[in-house]
Structures are given as C-alpha cells and as structure tokens.
Structure 1
Amino acid sequence: MSSHEPGQSWPPHPGHAPGQHPDGPAYGVVYAAPPTRPPSHRGAWIGAGATLVAAVIGVVGTYLVNTDGDDDPKAGPAPVSSAPAEPSAEPPAQTQSQSPSQEAAAETTPEATDTASTPSAPAAPSGPAPGTVHWQGTLVITYVEDKDLDAAPPVQSEINSDNDFAVYPFGDHMLRPDNGAKALVWKGAAKAPTYADCAGVVATQATSNDIEIKTGLTVCGRTGEGRLVRMTVKEMGGQASDTNATFDVVVWAGEPA
C-alpha cells in the first residue's frame, strides 16, 4: 500500500473528470484542497537570538573597557556620586593660623629672646662728670703770658689758639677772653658762685669783651674747649709790659649745662 502525505489526494486519472472514479461513474465525492501550512516562526526566533547575542557582546565589551581604564594612568577620574555626604559625628579640629610675625616669634631661640629682653648696660662716660673739679689753685697771668686753662695746671700754650685768657694794661688792668673763650662779672650773692651758678649765666650772658678787673672781683667764664671756670682776683700789680694779676681759679670738667 503506498503512502501519501496528509492533505494530499490522488491525482485524477487521465480521461476522467474530477470527482469521477476511474472504474465507474462518479460517486459525487469531491476531494478537498490540501490545507494551508501555518507560517513558521523560525526566522523571528533567529533574529531575536542575534539581537540578544549582540547585546551581551556590547555589555561584555563595555565592562572590559571600564576594567582596563582603572589601570591606565591616563584614564579619566571615576564618576563622583551625586549623593550628599553624611555629616561627620565630630566637628573637624580647627587649625589656628599664625601670622608671619607670630611664626617668626615662635622660631626665635631662647638665647635670642633673652638677649633681646636684657637691657643693655649704659655706656661708660668718656670723661669726668660735669661739675667735677678739673683743676683748682692760684694762677698768675701777665701781659706777655696768656694762659691755657684747659691744661692742668694752666700754662702758656705754644699753640696760641689754645690760650684762653690774657691781662692787658689799658689805663687799668683788663682781663681779655681769647680764642673762643667767654666771661662775665658775677653779680650774684656775696658767696662764691658754684658750678651751677656759673653754668646758669655763662650760657646766656658771657661775651668775649674785655673786663676791667679789681681786687675781690669774681668772674665766671668758659674756656675754648667748653670747661667752666671761676676766677676771683686776689691782687694786681705792675704797669705797661709788667702788668699782672693773681687769681684764685677753679676749672670744672665738662661743658656748662
């Protein structure tokens, strides 16, 4: 018995009309047409599978690229999370800033600080304090022998500009301050003037003018080098070139106040 596919009919015998049995008249049997085969979904499944494979390949490639980028020093920075950072439980310690001057003070060594804070000792005076007696005694001045009262004892200096006082016979005995020296007659109390007394008047009243002298007269003056002097006339004598005068002299150290 021969087989045939479902839905297929025997082909009509040649010379017979459709629906007619080959051995006899048609029995009215009509053969139906073969049923239509439902459409196949094989192509759709293949396409979906290809799409899925492509997606998987893309994901794997992206993952490999990102993994390699972490080891590459040229790779861009990692994405920063946009989520706000949670506040810390403890506030950060505050750092106190220091100004440049405070930093310099902090770096100063104790030795430097002690040296800066220790007051310097006062400079030693270069000479005797003002008011100290430089020389005191009896001095004779003649017409031809000027005296340098800055010397101790006073003498006639070979350098004429160093001599301070001279005596001249102009009608009477005259005392002349020379070479920058100055003098004036003391008109204060009867007592002998002190250093302070002479300093108070010499600075404002002394001149280089000649002074007519007599026994008992006291003169306050200043030498060419600035020393204060007190000269009291003890006696006078001589005429013309023999004119002379004897003085009780005190020369103080230092310049007048």
Structure 2
Amino acid sequence: MLSVVLVSALVMVTQSAFVGTADQCEQITIRLCKDPDAGLWYNRTSLPNILGHETQDEAGQEVHQFFPLVKAKCSSSLQAFLCLVYAPECHDPSVPPTKPCRELCEDVFAGCEPLLRNFGFRWPARLECSSYPSRQSGEECAAPGMDRAVPTEDGGSPVTVPPPGPVTPSEQSCPCSQQTASAAQSAVQALTDSLERVLSAAEGLQQLQQETLNMQQANLRLETEKLELEIQLLRRRLIG
C-alpha cells in the first residue's frame, strides 16, 4: 500500500514538473523568427533569452532593428542566428538557453559587418562572437544545419546530437554572393538618389536665397537714390 502511495506521489510530482516546464514554452510570435527562411527546427520558445528579455514583444522590438540587414541578405545565417539569440528553443527554465555556436556568429559577422561598417555602424557589442561557445571546442551550442556538440558527463570526448526535425543548411537558403551584391547595389543606388535630391533641394534653396538677396540690393539702391533726391531738394530749398 505504501509503495502505491509513493508511486502515485512520484507520478504527480513528475506531471506537475512537466506541466510547469511546458507552461514556460510559448509559440514564437516574432515575425522575423516565424519566417520559414529563418531555417529554425523549432516553433516554440521560452524566456528570458540570453540577453535578458522577459517577453517576446521586448525581444521583437530589438531584433527587428536588424531587418534591413536581413533584407540585404548579407549572410544566409543571419536570420537563424538572431532568432537563436532573441527567441531560443524552448528549454527547461532551471537551465539557461542554449547559445548559438560561435562559428555561426563568425559566419554572420564575416558577411554583415563590412556592410555595417560601410554605412558607419559598428557590430553590436551584445552580439560579440567571442561570448558564444565554440562547437569546435566541444562546447554545447546550437546552429541550423549543424549537429549540436554536447559534452559527456564523464569528461570524455563530446558527442554530437543532430537538431530535432528537418533542417535546411544555411548554405542552401540563398545564393548569397549574387543577392548580397544586388542588395548592396540597390542600397547604394537608394542613397545616391537621396543625396541627389538633397543636393538639388540645396541648389534650389541657394538660388532662391540669391534671388532674394538681389531683390534686397535693388530695393536698397532705390531707397538710396530716393534719399539722395530728397537731400538735393532740401538743399535747393535752403539755398533759395
């Protein structure tokens, strides 16, 4: 009888623990990460993420600042990397979320940092690649299309665990070199057009200012001539 009670209690505790963990998971609502092009193998997340965001709304506001880079397609891995940072795979709340692999970050950095630098921006310090675990060193990390390296408990050689579900390798997501060049050319053309509009407006303003100055000078000459005429008339009256 006692054993039955103990087993029942154990089942209840296990179920409650499972429900508590499940309650921490929620469907991903961040538009950037719901996009199939992100290449994620999961559709549920749990917060806080590794940056400390407590809600998806909070994380979404920050991650969408990178949307122009995603549109520019500077790296086929960018979208997945951002989602692994801002909307990590649902995990046990008692342990921190699995960070993206350093190699994934470095791949994104190599493709997107030059574009940021060309427009006068720096790579965000919060996404510094050295802060992420290295897959080559056997540290646990996550990346689409890569097996996850998980250290063994006995300290032996790490084992690799494939990501759950089908994953499209990042190299297959887009022909990056052509799309990146095309996007960069479009961005440069847009900036050039904007600069031409600004210069044209400045030139028009300068012409308007010059015309206004010419009119003011003409009015000043007329006033001067009028004043000189009045002085001459006054002198004649005094002499006469």
TM-score by length of 1: 0.19
Hey, which of these two has a bigger chunk of strand by percent?
1
Rg bigger for which structure? 1
Hey, which of these two has a bigger chunk of helix by percent?
2
